Chain A
Amino acid sequence: MPNRNMKKSNVKDTIYSLADETFHGKVTGAYNGLQWADELLERYTSIFDFAKAIISILDLDELLIKITGVITRITSSKGCLIRLYENGELKIKYYKGLPSGMIHILNNKTGRIISEYVLAKGYSLLIEDTSLLPDGLPSQLNVIRLFSRSILCVPLKLDFEVIGTIELFDKEYPYDSFTISDTLTAEGLAVFASLSIDKSRIYQKEKIQEMKAVRAKTKLEAVFNSVTAAIITIDRDYKVTSLNNHMNNWSNLSSLIGRDYIDVFSLEDSIPIHEAVKSTFATGKINTVTFVNDGRYAELTSYPIFEHKEIIECIILIRDVTESKLHEKKIIMLYNEVTESKERLESLVNDSADAIITTNIDGVITSWNMSAERIYGFTKDEALGQIFPILPYTEPDRDLIKYLLDGDTFKDIEVLSKRKNGDIIHTSLTMSPMRNSIREINGISIIVRDITRRKKIEHELLKSNLEGARLYEQVSLAENELKNIFESISDLVYIVDNDYNIQKVNRAVCNLVGLEMDGIVGKKCYEVFHNIDTVWEKCLHKKTLDNKRSYISEAERFYYKGEETFGMSSSPILDRDGNVKGTVNIVRDITELKKLTAQLASFEKMAMLGEVAAGMAHSIRNPLVSIGGFAKRLNQKLEPPYCEYAGIIQAETSRLEELLRKTLGFVHSVKSSMTTIDLNTLIATLIHITMKDLNADIAIEGEISSEKIDIMGYTPRIKVAVSNIIKNAVQSIDKKGRIKIKTYKQEGFAVIEIEDSGIGLKKDAVKHIFDPFYTTKPDGTGLGLAIAHKIIMEHSGSIDVISEQGTGTVVIIKIPLKIDNEDINS
């Protein structure tokens, strides 16, 4: 019998020992043989049936329902509860015939005592009668006592491992207690139940794994088809084993699986791809190649798939990289363009006859072109990093540099410099500040022109004689004037490609054409400049393209809207391989230059005439003097009427002499000192004198400047020059008309404008108007304007004639203003 003096605190031990006693007491109970055999047969039959019923059930839940159902039936139990041992504790998996309040108790610590006992011991526990349990048990167990009178708990065992328990509560009618026989039956059933549960669990596990596998597969497939790249897998025989939708973009074939993968790509050159894949199979490395298919750029990457360290398949991933490639190409193109334009600029700089040098703000040379090498004798390598000028001849002007850094530009500063070999050279410098992108001055650009030769010529001319110097003065004056004109009218510079498309123009071109750069660049040069739809007959660009060399020429009406004469130069732009890529064209309006050249030519003519005149004078004047001289003597000695005849000879001779004097007068100059001439007074006097001799039909009006205009000159000669022109103006007026004479100052010159409303001149006549003996009048000598021209030239001035037939003529005389001492001092 159970020991009733047990300690309250050790409930677990108490019930365990109690159970041991109960169980063993029953086992040791006496059975007769037949009853045992009947029972045994019945038991095995029911176990066999049970095994049959549950063995095919794979689903655990279904199995547990079945087990519970069969066990309660066979053992005639009212309630049944199955626990399975999972993750270190017994968990209720299924129950039947038990009120929920009891389940709650059975699931807590106290309620688990019986099953934990069975789990720990590994054998069954039979409590035949709960009322026999000792007092002082926890209240929950007391509750069990209320619910159930007899409890049988058997272990679910696999070999020696307990995987759970089956608890049976109370027998159905005849309300008996569970017996040893029930225990053995339940234990037998439990063996099969355990096996089935284990089998079901394995099945369950596999089912989960299968589900996981299926899910993974689905997921993979989704990924496979949703990535924007095309994917194919190939086996070691290079046959396609799978592919995704995007492969459609790369292949026209409808069914690809099983085919040779190279057939998938309809490529001219599939070798790089094959090499990549082959290498992946051989080395297990990931390879990437790029190829072009149907104008699209593709990047192909091959990945190995290992199985047991063997490469069994290869995954090929193909991405369309056209966009990024095109972007890349664009960048390369842009880069090339930048490089080209840089080279073009460099070649422009190098081809320039002028040295182009840049320095930083400290004067350290940062670039040095070919002409700089030529002028100074230093190579680029020698020059870079040196302070400019490398061999100073005179101390550089510090102020100049200061002004440059303040943003000023200096033009045509003439300085002496030393070459590398020590030679002294004359140079003309144009210096201007350079700015970076944020408009800060970061250096100085220097354009150097070697003017040594010009200076030498100047020097020699000065030495030779005064006449020569004067001539030189005229030339250099003309040259200066020319320079001024060039400076005021910038040259047209433009670049044309091989297809006659204009690629670049300067501001001067825009000004000429009257369009912004955008409106010119890209158009054909012959459209823009000549307004024709085919190549211009005088096109230098064409000649340059054809013969790969530079050309220079002149043409009238280069620009279709104007009459101007243009000097044109065209030079080829070569690429690295020496092919012509286009031309640089420089076009300048040389109309003014032509005019000045013409003036010089007329001057030369005059000088020649001087020599002729000297000879003529000798051979005509000598006889005239004799004739006239002796006639005078005869006049004195003879009687009338013969003395009168001699007088006639004398008078006629002096007329001839006068003509001769006039003819020769303009070819020599009178050496006397120049004086200050008040031009306004002189002109006013001339107007007054002219007016006295004019009839009322010709009006003469003066518009004399209110400013005082002083020039240096020979008063009588200036008078002659101006009055000759006024006389000409008067003669050009047929009957009625007017003459307007204006004086004013303009850019260092005194200007006299004589405008008439006369018959005007033909275009051809304007060209020759200053030629000696050229006349449009039947009784003219052709000397008046030639003399005027010579006199104005003597005064370092100029005469221009603007004339239109039927409208009149304007003669514009310019003479340099007198430079005041005050001006010099300031």
Chain B
Amino acid sequence: MKILIVDDDPHIRTLYKEELIDEGYEVVLANSGKEALELFEKESFDLVTLDILMPGMDGIEVLRKMKEKNPTLPVIMSTAYDYRDDFSVWASEAYVVKSADLDELKGTIKKLLNK
């Protein structure tokens, strides 16, 4: 299973990568929305975790473009701030607030990939 992790924070990227590799997933990293979309063109992924607040293109824009391309691809919005009231994130499959405890994230990924 190949997961694309999009986040502008390098430490978060590293943490997610190590934790998810430990869980047995193949992980690809992107440091911006632009890079993520470029990778998205070249490769295919089973799931994407997407930060919202990023310099340049923000996560909501990336989500819209990805869903245009592949509407059934599961996307988890993973953010520092709770945007759940915002209509724009409704298009994503799940919404997880970032936390040092990655159990919620891991559980959500498992659930989405097992469907």
Contact = CB atoms under 8 A, between A and B. Distances in A.
Contact of A653 (B19, B82, B98, B100): B100
Interface string B1-31: 0000000010110010011000000000000
A650 B102 CA distance: 12
B84 interface: yes
Contacts of A625: 12, 15, 80, 98-100
A620 B99 CA distance: 11
B16 to A, nearest CB: 8
B98 A633 contact: no
Contacts of B15: 625-626, 629-630, 633
Nearest to B100: A628
Interface string A610-651: 000110011011111111111111000000000000000010
Nearest to A656: B100
Given A625-B98, A628-B101, A617 B80 contact: yes
Contacts of A630: 11, 15
B66 interface: no
Interface stretch (A168-176, A275-283, A662-670): A662-670
Which DSSP category, helix, strand, loop or mixed, fits chain A's interface?
Answer: helix
Interface string A209-248: 0000000000000000000000000000000000000000
Given A626-B11, A630-B15, A668 B101 contact: no
A622 B78 CA distance: 11
Contacts of A617: 80-82
A626 B19 contact: no
A671 interface: yes
A668 B11 CA distance: 27
Interface string A666-683: 001111000000000000
Contact of B101 (A466, A621, A632): A632
Nearest to B102: A629
A654 interface: yes
B81 A618 contact: yes
A657 interface: yes
A661 B101 CA distance: 14
B82 A622 contact: no
Given A626-B15, A633-B18, A650 B80 contact: no
Contacts of B102: 629
Q: How large is the interface on A (under 10, 10 to 19, 20 to 34, 35 or more residues)?
A: 20 to 34
Nearest to B90: A671
B90 to A, nearest CB: 9
Contact of A671 (B18, B81, B85): B85
A626 B18 contact: no
Interface residues of B, number: 20
Contacts of A664: 81-82
Contact of B53 (A618, A628, A653, A671): A618
B85 A621 contact: no
A466 B100 contact: no
A626 B12 contact: yes
B82 A668 contact: yes
A623 B102 CA distance: 14
Given A626-B15, A633-B18, A654 B84 contact: no
A631 B19 CA distance: 12
B73 to A, nearest CB: 24
Contacts of A629: 12, 15, 19, 100, 102
Contacts of B101: 628, 632, 654
Given A629-B15, A633-B18, A624 B85 contact: no
A667 to B, nearest CB: 9
Given A618-B53, A622-B12, A633-B18, A627 B84 contact: no
Contact of B81 (A467, A613, A631): A613
Nearest to B8: A622
Contacts of A618: 53, 80-81
- The interface centre, meaning the residue of A617, A625, A631 with most chain B CB atoms within 10 A of its CB, is A625
B64 to A, nearest CB: 17
Contact of A627 (B83, B85, B100): B100
Contacts of A661: 97
Contact of A622 (B18, B80, B83, B85): B80
Interface in B56-114: 80-85, 87, 97-102
B100 A657 contact: yes
Contacts of B98: 621-622, 625
Nearest to A631: B100
A653 B85 CA distance: 26
B81 A614 contact: yes
- The interface centre, meaning the residue of B12, B84, B87, B100 with most chain A CB atoms within 10 A of its CB, is B100
A657 B12 CA distance: 15
A624 B12 contact: no
A661 B99 CA distance: 10
B100 A654 contact: yes
A466 B87 CA distance: 9
A670 B84 CA distance: 7
Contacts of B53: 614, 618
Given A650-B100, A657-B100, A669 B85 contact: yes
A595 B75 CA distance: 46
A668 B81 CA distance: 10
Nearest to A630: B15
Contacts of A633: 15, 18-19
Contacts of B11: 622-623, 626, 630
B80 A668 contact: no
Nearest to B98: A625
A628 B15 CA distance: 10
Closest A-B pairs by Cβ, 5 of them = A628-B100, A626-B11, A621-B80, A617-B81, A629-B15
12 contacts: A617-B80, A618-B53, A622-B12, A622-B98, A625-B98, A626-B9, A629-B100, A630-B11, A650-B100, A653-B100, A668-B85, A670-B84
